[in-house]
Amino acid sequence: MWKIEFYRTESGRYPVVDFIDSLDAGAKARLLGVLDLLEEFGINLRMPYARHVEKQLWELRARHGRNRYRIIYFLAFEDTFMLLHGFTKKTDTIPAKELKTARLRLTDFLGKRRR
């Protein structure tokens, strides 16, 4: 079984937890189901639930009704995924702003790990 951890900001917030909590019950259930798949299948999880974005970053993909939800994550340790950023996807490509947020959190996490 794989492990999932949530990125924590300097102020102690967990942005992905906040994102999931902001969703309606149906969307939340769908996204939590996909998180269960990530825990079960890990790096073997692929489309339509997971897709490589760039370098270390992957997106976890969920759909509920007409809405598309994404969580950007990476393999932080041998058996542990770090969830960096969650958002509702409204365009065909991942918006640059969302990728920038995930990249900044990745850099922050890796910097703390090296200290």
Please write the tens of the pLDDT for every residue from 27-36.
999 999 999 9
pLDDT of residue 112: 80
pLDDT digits (tens, 9 = 90+) for 85-102: 999 999 889 999 999 999
pLDDT at 114 exceeding the cut of 70: no
Strand 50-54 relative to strand 3-6, pairing: unpaired
Q: What is the chain's mean pLDDT, rounded?
A: 95
d(CA 24, CA 40): 24
d(CA 113, CA 115): 6
Mean pLDDT computed over 15-26: 97
pLDDT at 115 exceeding the cut of 60: no
User: SS3 breakdown of the chain: % helix, strand, coil, rounded to 5?
Assistant: 40, 35, 25
pTM: 0.94
For residue 68, name the pLDDT band (cuts at 50, 70, 90).
Answer: very high
pLDDT of residue 113: 66
d(CA 81, CA 83): 6
Question: Considering the domain 3-110 in this protein, what is its CATH number?
Answer: 3.30.2310.20
Tokens 């969650």 found at: 86
Domain positions in the chain:
3-110
d(CA 6, CA 83): 5
